[in-house]
Structure formats: structure tokens, C-alpha cells
Amino acid sequence: MSDNKRSNRGSNDPNDRGDAPSRETRTGGVWLVIIGVILAVMMSALLFGQNSRSLRYPDLTKLLIEHAKQKQIEAEGGKAETPKIVVDSPKDPKIQLEFSDLQLVLLGDDEITGTVMYRSLGSGSKAADDPENLPTRTDFKTVRVVNETQDAYFDKILRDSGVTWDNARPNRWLADNWFNLFMLGAIIAIGVIMLRRIGGVGSPMSFSRSRGKLHGQEDLSISFEDAAGIDEAVEEVREIVDFLKNSEKYQALGGRIPKGVLLVGPPGTGKTLLAKAIAGEAGVPFFSLSGSDFVEMFVGVGAARVRDMFQQATSRAPCIIFIDELDALGKSRSGSVVGGHDEREQTLNALLVEMDGFDSNNGVIVVAATNRPETLDPALLRPGRFDRQVLVDRPDVAGREAILKVHVRSVKLDDEVDLRHIASITSGFVGADLANLVNEAALLAARADKSAVSTTEFDEAVDRVTAGLEKKNRVMNEDEKIRVAYHEAAHALVAAALPNTDPVHKVSIIPRGFAALGYTMQRPDSERYLMTKLELESRMKVLLAGTLAEEMVLQDISTGAQNDLERCTEIARSMVMDFGMSRLGRINYRHSTGSPFLAGGGGNGHSMTYGEDTAKLIDKEVSRIVEDALTQTREILTQRREVLEAITQRLLEVESIDNGELFRIIKEHSTGPWLVPGTITEKPRAQIRKPENDLDTLKDAE
């Protein structure tokens, strides 16, 4: 089955420390700026907006005397002026300060406070004439001189001045500053909330927090029945579920559950789905995350996330931790150039300790998936950590049929659809490919306004998945169309003439995919795990047939054979260097470091183990093998020229022919033995030789 994407739903547990909802970093930054500005304004108001002016006791007395004088002038019928005094600044004698118009004086035991009009006159009297330098109302504070003589004199001039006064009130700082305190508390509360909100996964506030997502049972509705096509892998992990449900049975015999299970296999075979099925069948909490979730730019963060992950898992034991793409975290350690360890190695060390260290975690099963097992650290693969490695391989015919049955549950099929036939023509497909195939067929049926999906849609979907989308806007001119028709007809002809090749399923000159102007599709009769030398040589001949047909018929070759030549050369080089199928002997000249599960090989490719002289011999042998294949392929096409012309003409007429029509054309235009003489046998390669048949042959020879 295919690797399903991890569920985006998390746990409803309020204590869950899994992923927070994703937010844009820009939004969090804007909020932080807003909070900072508000905080700066409020602190400025608290520190500077209500700052009291210091007024010395003698200067206050002088100002009260001025008030008394102006009051006396007003009482005598004169024009009173604003009472004011000008004094030198205590900080800078060059600056003069003007105080005027006392309005309220509060008498305390140690100090006198009130309000007064105030302005700074600068270093001269010119500032007093400046129209922009107007007095402003402000608070003042004066240290009180406490003695009976001074108190009596001060009380007298205070009453004569007519200024409103009162005894000092009790300390009302809290009542006077409640709004400021409220705003400061609100700012602090908003800041705490924002830090918590932006402290989710992916923010600088959550470096050491695990990114594992906890799935509840309501999120895990997958069972082993959904993991079709991988029966052997299911059987390997079924006992883990049985242990989680009936641990007493195993513990009574002294057995213990494997601490770790490593699922290995090609992409799309169902490793993630199998892990979900384990959790769904066991009925235990399930943490899911990727190996890259532990990796961070700061050293120590990944190790902290590993510890946090296992701490959460231990608190919910028994439970399962699923780590997808383990190779991102568990690659083999190597000596650093500078003698240190990078972040990934620190994280791997933490994982090794948590899985089987001094304080190993009981009840926590680690299930991991990777398609690069050759890159994992040996310490991670040893028993006690990953005790069991389960191969989730490509499904066979029966497995593909079972997978198709799962995916067509919600698809309305026509009665004529034969899933067994579809499984037989999709050799090499994994669960993800088959899921995509069913979906493509359903979309094609909906596009044609059909009420059910028929075999026609499935055949077209196979072509789309295998060769790519049909390029209707890629119109070839007549010369190119003829050249492509000869090219593909030659591929099909040679494939049909050699008994040890895969049967031709379809031949087409309809452009598909990124660069293919035509294609010849071959499908094996059965699952193949080995290839013989003659089979590889036959495959090379099929690849070379296209460019040879162009040369023979059109007297010129084109760039359309680039991929054919590349594949043919690689087969010949592998025969010489990897398989020992050449005159150089049964020697392997290169050690492959690629992945057995990745089509591109992965890894660092190949390591060469020979010198320059041997390299020259290898190149000569590769060239000889290719030249021999060219010679033999030219003979096959020359002897069957009439059939080649017939297939080409039919392709130009209908653009696509299937296996049945191909062999009908061959039968009608063939004048001699069709199969190439001297190629193993003229019997299909799938036929098995029986000992009794060999005995009968010997008797006839006698």
C-alpha cells in the first residue's frame, strides 16, 4: 500500500505539547513591534510624564509673598499681575527658571507639594519674549523646614497670599496611578500570551520542544485490512500488537517486545500506512514525526527534542513513536575534519541513549521507516534498539490485485473490469502508483461523462502513469512522424522476434510526457528477480533497433535514440563491471554504494577499484558488446524488412496498436521462421524444462 500522509489532526488532550497551529512569522513580528511601542510609551509616561519640579523652600516663600503683594494691589483697586519669580537652575546657573501662579499647596510633615506654572527661560531674558515658550502647569515638591519660627511665618504669608491650601492628604499614589498600573499589567499579560502563541513549533521560543504529533484513537481508524499487498510485513509486526494487548503471555515466558522496528523498502510501498495500522490495531497513543523534525541549526536542540519526545511518550506508555525518513537523523557517524561533532551526531547520540541506554524507556516502541538503510549508523541497527527489520517490498501480482480492491471500494466499476488483468499489466507498481492509477481512471471516466469506470479508462490510466500525459499540442510534421513510426516499429519487431524478452503490450507514436514522441511498452509475463546474460543482450538489441531502423530506411539517424543509447551502454557496462559477463572474466570492478530501493541509486554512486590500464580494457569490452548487439540487430531487421514496413504503415494509420494487432501483422507478412534462430530456445522463457523431457530427448537421440 502507499505511504499515506500524516494526519493533520492532533490530540484533544490539553496537556498535549504537539504542533501548534501554523502562523506566519511576519504576524508574530508585527505583534511584537506593537507591544514594544506601547510599552515604551507607557514607561515614558510613567517615568517622565508625571515628574515633579523641585522648588526650594526660600523660593516658595518668595512666590507666596508675590501672591500676597498682587492680592493687596487688587484689594486697593489696582491692576494685579500674575505673581511670578525667576530663579537660577540648581543644575546650571546659566539657565533661569520661572515659577508663577500657585493654585494648590498641600502641607505635609516633611514636604510641601502643589501645582504651579513653570517654564525655562534659557540663558537670558530673550527666552521670556519667545511666543512659543509658554508656561505649563506642573507639580512641584519642596522640602519643608520644620521649626516653630519658620512655621509661624510660612503660615502667615500662606494665608495672606490667598492661595488655596490644605493639609497633605494620605498617600494616594495607588489611586492616582491606577490607570498607569492597569495599562502596564495589560501590556505584561498581552506579552505573555503572545510569547505562548508564537512559542509553537517553528518559532525561536520552542527550540527544545518536540515536534511530534500525538494521534488519538479517533484519528487512527486504519487496520491491517487496509494494509493490503504486504502480507509478509503485516505478519512480522502483528505480534507487536499482540504483545501490547496481551503482554502477560510473553512476560510469563521471559520474552520481551522488540524495542524498535525498522520498516525498509522502496518509496510508496506502505511503510507509513503499516505503522498507522500497528497503532490502530494496538489501541495505544501514537506519536508521529519526521527525522528532519529533530534537525536544527543550533547544536543541542535536536538532542533536547529527542529527550522531550521520549519524556512525553513515557508519560503515556505503552505507546508507539513513529519516525518517518529515519535516514535524515540516523546517518552513520564519521570523524569530523575539525575533530568535533555536528548537530546531527549529537541528536543521534541522544536517540541511541533513549532507545537503549542506562535509563531505557519501558513500554515505548519505536517504529521507523526509511528507504536508505545502508546509510544508517550500525549502533542504531543493533539488537536492543531496532531489534527487527521488516522489508516492505514491491507487491507481486496477487498483492497488486489486493491493493486495487482496497482502492476501488469507493469507485463505481463496470462489470467488465478485471482487476487481475490490471494487476498483471502493472508490474513494478507500488501501492502509491496503484492508488494514483485508480484515481486517474476515475477522473478519465468522469471527464467522458460515464456512469462507471471501464477497462478503457484503466488502460489509458496505465499509459498516463507509465509514459506520461498525452501531448495533443505537440504536433509532428510528416517527416518526423514517419521517422518515429519506423523507430517504434523496430523496437516492437525485435522484441517480438527474440524469445527472451518481455512481451510487447502496446506500440504508439502519440507524444507523451516531457520528451517522448512515441513509446513501445513491454510487460513481463511474471515477476522477475534475475536476468541472464542472453536476456540482457536481447534487451540491448531491442534498444538499438530504433536507431538502426532509421539508418537502414531513412539513411540517417536522429537524436531520438539518446535515451536508448544511454540505457544500452549502461547495460553493457554493468555486464562488464558488475556481473562478470564479459571476456575480462567474472570480476566485479566497482562497488555500488547506492540504495537498493531508490531508482536513482542514491548514495555516492560507485567506488572504482581498478587502474587506468584496466579502465581501457573495460571501455574496449563495452564497445565490443555494443557493436556485437548492433550487428545482430541489423541482421534481424534486414531479414524482417517487410514486417517492419507493415508495422510502420499501420502505426501511421492508427498511431497506436496493441499486442494482438502486432502479432496479426507479423503473422500476415512473415515469410519464414519468426523467432531468431540460435537464441536459447524458441520456447517462451517462462516455460520450465522438466527432467523427464530431457530423458525423452536423450532416448530419441540414441
pLDDT digits (tens, 9 = 90+) for 448-481: 999 999 999 998 898 888 887 777 667 788 899 9
Residue 73 is which amino acid? Answer: I
What pLDDT does 464 receive? 86
**Per the structure block, which three cell numbers stand in for 47?**
517615568
H or E stretch covering 138: strand 136-143
Quote the CA–CA distance of 651 and 447 in Å, as a whole number: 27
The verdict on 354 and 435 lying in the same domain is no
Which region among 275-284, 392-401, 637-646 has the lowest average model confidence (pLDDT)?
A: 275-284
The verdict on 157 and 231 lying in the same domain is no
What pLDDT does 335 receive? 54
What pLDDT does 123 receive? 58
The verdict on 440 and 345 lying in the same domain is no
Q: Which pairing describes strands 260-264 and 213-215: parallel, antiparallel, or unpaired?
A: unpaired
CATH number at residue 550: 1.20.58.760
Binding residues for ATP: 265-272
What pLDDT does 691 receive? 36
CATH number at residue 454: 1.10.8.60
Compute the average pLDDT of residues 264-289: 86
Q: Mapping DSSP to helix (H, G, I), strand (E, B) and coil, where does residue 476 land?
A: coil
Would you say 321 and 367 are in contact if contact means Cβ atoms under 8 Å apart? Answer: yes
Question: What is the rounded average pLDDT for all residues in the chain?
Answer: 78
Quote the CA–CA distance of 580 and 151 in Å, as a whole number: 119
**Per the structure block, which three cell numbers stand in for 35?**
507591544
Q: Closest Cα to residue 257, out of 367, 363, 391?
A: 363
Q: Find the domain containing 99 and state its range.
A: 53-173
Query: What is the separation of C-alpha 138 from the centre of its chain, rounded to a whole number of angstroms?
Result: 62
Please list, in sequence order, all residues whose beta carbon lies within 8 angstroms of the beta carbon of residue 90, skipping any fewer than 6 positions away: 54, 56
pLDDT > 90: what percent of the chain?
A: 24
Binding residues for Zn(2+): 487, 491, 564
Q: Report if residue 5 sits inside a domain.
A: no
Q: Which pairing describes strands 96-107 and 111-120: parallel, antiparallel, or unpaired?
A: antiparallel
Q: Which pairing describes strands 319-324 and 364-370: parallel, antiparallel, or unpaired?
A: parallel
Q: Report if residue 204 sits inside a domain.
A: no
What pLDDT does 596 receive? 63
Q: Closest Cα to residue 115, out of 152, 60, 72?
A: 60
What pLDDT does 698 receive? 33
170 versus 314: which is more confidently predicted?
314
Binding residues: 265-272, 487, 491, 564
Q: How confident is the model at residue 339 (pLDDT cuts 50, 70, 90)?
A: very low
**DSSP secondary structure, 636-662, as one string:** HHHHTHHHHHHHHHHHHHHSEEEHHHH
Residue 682 is which amino acid? Answer: E
490 versus 292: which is more confidently predicted?
490
Phi, psi of 183 (to 5 degrees): -65, -40
**Per the structure block, which three cell numbers stand in for 617?**
580494457
Residue 563 is which amino acid? Answer: N
What pLDDT does 475 receive? 78
Quote the CA–CA distance of 668 and 666 in Å, as a whole number: 6
Examine the fold and report which residue of 158, 173, 188 is the final residue of a domain before the chain moves on. Answer: 173
The verdict on 130 and 162 lying in the same domain is yes
Q: How confident is the model at residue 702 (pLDDT cuts 50, 70, 90)?
A: very low
The verdict on 384 and 253 lying in the same domain is yes
Q: Report if residue 57 sits inside a domain.
A: yes
**DSSP secondary structure, 452-467, as one string:** SB-HHHHHHHHHHHHH
Compute the average pLDDT of residues 238-265: 82
562488464: which residue's cell? 576
598-648 pLDDT, tens digit per residue, is 655 555 556 677 888 999 999 999 999 999 999 999 999 999 999 999 999
546531527: which residue's cell? 344
Q: Report if residue 13 sits inside a domain.
A: no
Q: Report if residue 617 sits inside a domain.
A: yes
Q: How confident is the model at residue 317 (pLDDT cuts 50, 70, 90)?
A: confident
What pLDDT does 12 receive? 41
115-127 pLDDT, tens digit per residue, is 888 888 765 544 5
The verdict on 65 and 125 lying in the same domain is yes
Q: How confident is the model at residue 342 (pLDDT cuts 50, 70, 90)?
A: low
Phi, psi of 390 (to 5 degrees): -110, 125
Would you say 335 and 341 are in contact if contact means Cβ atoms under 8 Å apart? Answer: no
Which region among 293-297, 299-303, 531-535, 689-693 has the lowest average model confidence (pLDDT)?
A: 689-693
Q: Is the pLDDT of residue 7 over 60?
A: no
Burial class of residue 592, CB neighbours in 10 A (0-12, 13-18, 19+): middle
Q: How confident is the model at residue 113 (pLDDT cuts 50, 70, 90)?
A: confident
Would you say 542 and 498 are in contact if contact means Cβ atoms under 8 Å apart? Answer: yes
**Per the structure block, which three cell numbers stand in for 367?**
517504529
Question: What is the tally of structural domains in the chain?
Answer: 4
522648588: which residue's cell? 55
**Per the structure block, which three cell numbers stand in for 692?**
523427464
What pLDDT does 214 receive? 66
Quote the CA–CA distance of 504 and 454 in Å, as a whole number: 22
The verdict on 547 and 617 lying in the same domain is yes
For the chain, how many residues are written? 702
Quote the CA–CA distance of 486 and 492 in Å, as a whole number: 10
531468431: which residue's cell? 676
**Per the structure block, which three cell numbers stand in for 496?**
517480438
**Per the structure block, which three cell numbers stand in for 462?**
496505465
Compute the average pLDDT of residues 381-406: 89
**Per the structure block, which three cell numbers stand in for 241?**
500488537
Quote the CA–CA distance of 262 and 696 in Å, as a whole number: 51
Which of 88-92, 169-173, 199-203, 470-474 is most confident? Answer: 88-92
Angle at 463 between CA 459 and CA 467, to 5 degrees: 170
Q: Is the pLDDT of residue 197 over 90?
A: no
Q: Report if residue 435 sits inside a domain.
A: yes
Please list, in sequence order, all residues whose beta carbon lies within 8 angstroms of the beta carbon of residue 332, skipping any fewer than 6 positions away: 375, 376, 377, 378
Q: How confident is the model at residue 672 (pLDDT cuts 50, 70, 90)?
A: low
Q: Report if residue 22 sits inside a domain.
A: no
CATH number at residue 245: 3.40.50.300
Q: Is the pLDDT of residue 29 over 60?
A: no
Buried b (16+ CB within 10 A) or exposed e, 393-421: bbbeeebbbbbbebbbeeeebeeebebee
Q: What residues are annotated to the active site?
A: 488
Examine the fold and report which residue of 443, 465, 487 is the final residue of a domain before the chain moves on. Answer: 465
The verdict on 417 and 376 lying in the same domain is no
For residue 318, say if its preceding peptide bond is cis, omega within 30 degrees of 0. yes
The verdict on 246 and 291 lying in the same domain is yes
**Per the structure block, which three cell numbers stand in for 23?**
502562523
Q: Is the pLDDT of residue 572 over 90?
A: yes
The verdict on 244 and 362 lying in the same domain is yes
478 versus 362: which is more confidently predicted?
478
515-567 pLDDT, tens digit per residue, is 688 889 888 877 778 899 999 999 999 999 999 999 999 999 999 899 999 99
What pLDDT does 275 receive? 86
What pLDDT does 340 receive? 43
What pLDDT does 403 receive? 93
Q: Closest Cα to residue 636, out of 483, 508, 507, 501?
A: 501
Q: How confident is the model at residue 679 (pLDDT cuts 50, 70, 90)?
A: low
Q: Is the pLDDT of residue 169 over 80?
A: no
532 versus 9: which is more confidently predicted?
532
What pLDDT does 428 receive? 85
Q: Is the pLDDT of residue 697 over 70?
A: no
Q: Closest Cα to residue 267, out of 128, 429, 106, 407?
A: 429
Q: Mapping DSSP to helix (H, G, I), strand (E, B) and coil, where does residue 251 land?
A: helix
The verdict on 132 and 113 lying in the same domain is yes
Residue 518 is which amino acid? Answer: G
46-88 pLDDT, tens digit per residue, is 554 445 677 888 888 888 888 888 888 888 877 878 888 888 8
Quote the CA–CA distance of 667 and 679 in Å, as a whole number: 20
What pLDDT does 19 receive? 42
What pLDDT does 263 receive? 92
Examine the fold and report which residue of 354, 373, 391 is the final residue of a domain before the chain moves on. Answer: 391
Q: Report if residue 31 sits inside a domain.
A: no
What pLDDT does 6 receive? 38
Quote the CA–CA distance of 507 and 546 in Å, as a whole number: 13
Q: How confident is the model at residue 692 (pLDDT cuts 50, 70, 90)?
A: very low
The verdict on 131 and 95 lying in the same domain is yes
What pLDDT does 638 receive? 93
Q: Is the pLDDT of residue 701 over 80?
A: no
What pLDDT does 592 receive? 67
What pLDDT does 87 receive? 84
Q: What 8-state DSSP symbol labels residue 451?
A: S
For the chain, the first-to-last Cα distance in angstroms comes to 55
Please list, in sequence order, all residues whose beta carbon lies within 8 angstroms of the beta carbon of residue 187, skipping any fewer than 6 positions away: 35, 38, 39, 42
Which region among 192-196, 227-231, 254-258, 515-519 has the lowest average model confidence (pLDDT)?
A: 192-196
